[in-house]
Amino acid sequence: MSSFKIFDIVGSGLSAQSVRLNTVASNLANADSVSGDPKTVYKARHPVFQAVKAAVGQSADPIDRANGASVRVSGIVQSDAPPTERYDPGNPLADEHGNVYAPNVNVIEEMTDMISASRAYQDNVEVMNTSKDLMLATLKLGD
């Protein structure tokens, strides 16, 4: 196994967490938006991660196969939770009953998800920096 494979694995993790942070930002940005129709209101979005293993038959050594793992975003799904209905007859978007519909975004859950994604991103950066330092230390052994 190439010792540079760690950077591919970490890179896939960084990319996945970046998508996660972007969807959280989108959800938070639209948390206060309203609509007069429950079908057109913003729906919370969440990325779906998928573990990707090394290609079958790439190596007979189970350690090499495990080291070929990475993560990718297989898609972004919309929440199927119903929107929140609010009575606000003065709102220009209100329907004939005076109701507006707010997105199904839970700000507390989104903030928690943002902290988790941010820490996972930082962890991946730390793994990359540690790997780089170990490779540099290995190169200096010959001096």
Does residue 75 form part of some domain? yes
Report pLDDT digits (tens) over 72-122: 999 999 999 999 999 999 999 999 999 999 999 999 999 999 999 999 999
Does residue 50 form part of some domain? yes
Does residue 40 form part of some domain? no
For 73, the domain range is 5-32+45-80+105-140
Does residue 96 form part of some domain? no
Does residue 98 form part of some domain? no
Report pLDDT digits (tens) over 41-51: 999 999 999 99
Does residue 61 form part of some domain? yes
Is this model's pTM higher than 0.85 or not?
A: no
Does residue 51 form part of some domain? yes
Count of domains for the chain: 1
- Backbone φ and ψ of 87, nearest 5°: -85, 115
**Per-residue b/e over 17-53, b at no fewer than 16 CB within 10 Å?**
beebbebbebbbebbeebbbeeeebbbbbbbebeeee
Report pLDDT digits (tens) over 109-126: 999 999 999 999 999 999
